[in-house]
Structure 1
Amino acid sequence: MIMAPWVWVSLALALLASAGFGAPPADMKLQAYLLWGTNDRNPPADRNYQPVNPDIRQKLKSLPLKWAHWYEVKRVDFQVAPGASREVTLSDKCQVKLRQLASAEVEVLLIGQGKEVMKRRQALPKGDLLVLGGNSPNATAWLVVLKRNE
């Protein structure tokens, strides 16, 4: 049996539609947290630091960190388009530059006091946390946590 040309065209269009030629990938929505770690039960009295969220606290407990208490210093909501980069300033000494490479893969550059502290490339699925840090000169610590929301 020979098919009419319109049947072939319909089949070709159906195959193209199912091959993923739909909407472009969405922007990646994230939160960047600047955290301060200490073994003191309370943050400094002159600072308005808040205890970290339960999901971040749980993640930090699973890591080999020597500090028992973590406080949120600053939080920034931002988004990055596929293939684009975005720089986020968390303090006058701390910036994060994030580039979305693929739908769930990112490249992150942590900048401390104007110098590159670390560069990391990895998958960051929705709901996951990425923890970044460098050397700390005293009995406290500073970390940056990235959380992908969408």
Structure 2
Amino acid sequence: MTEILFYHLQSQPVERVLPQLLGKCLERGWNVVVQASSEERVQALDDALWTYSAESFLPHGTVRDGAVETQPIFLTPEDINPNKAKVRVLVDGASGPDLAGYTRAIVMFDGNLTDALATERERWKALKAAGHQVTYWQQDGDGRWVKKA
């Protein structure tokens, strides 16, 4: 079964946390598909990944960039996996595919939004009931990740 990690964001936005997680995936040799809720959100994440650090670069692209099968990190609002990713990242409530074909899935959500919290609790229950290994990470007051479940 797929290992699924829920990241409950409280003090930092997705744009600050996502680059670190993507970097760790690439260090392991895993291609990644990041699925957002809309094309506008994909564009915002694309922009954020280009500018998040002056000292670092994360190779990534969208359908507009072409050669999607060669992108180590592919950003999309769709349920596709053109780069044969081992990791699926779902942000902003994006409803993804059957996650069974992935080594790992990461669900990132803004825990300050009541609707997002309720939606992801239901997703957690469903994925756990389906037999996936799920873990729940929440930021503490200093922005560090603490495993809660």
Q: TM-score range by the shorter chain?
A: under 0.3
Q: Which structure is higher in strand share? A: 1
**Whose helix proportion is higher, 1 or 2?**
2
TM-score normalised over the length of structure 1: 0.25
Instruction: Calculate the TM-score normalised by the size of structure 2.
Output: 0.25
User: Relative contact order, CA 8 A, sep 6+: which one is greater?
Assistant: 2
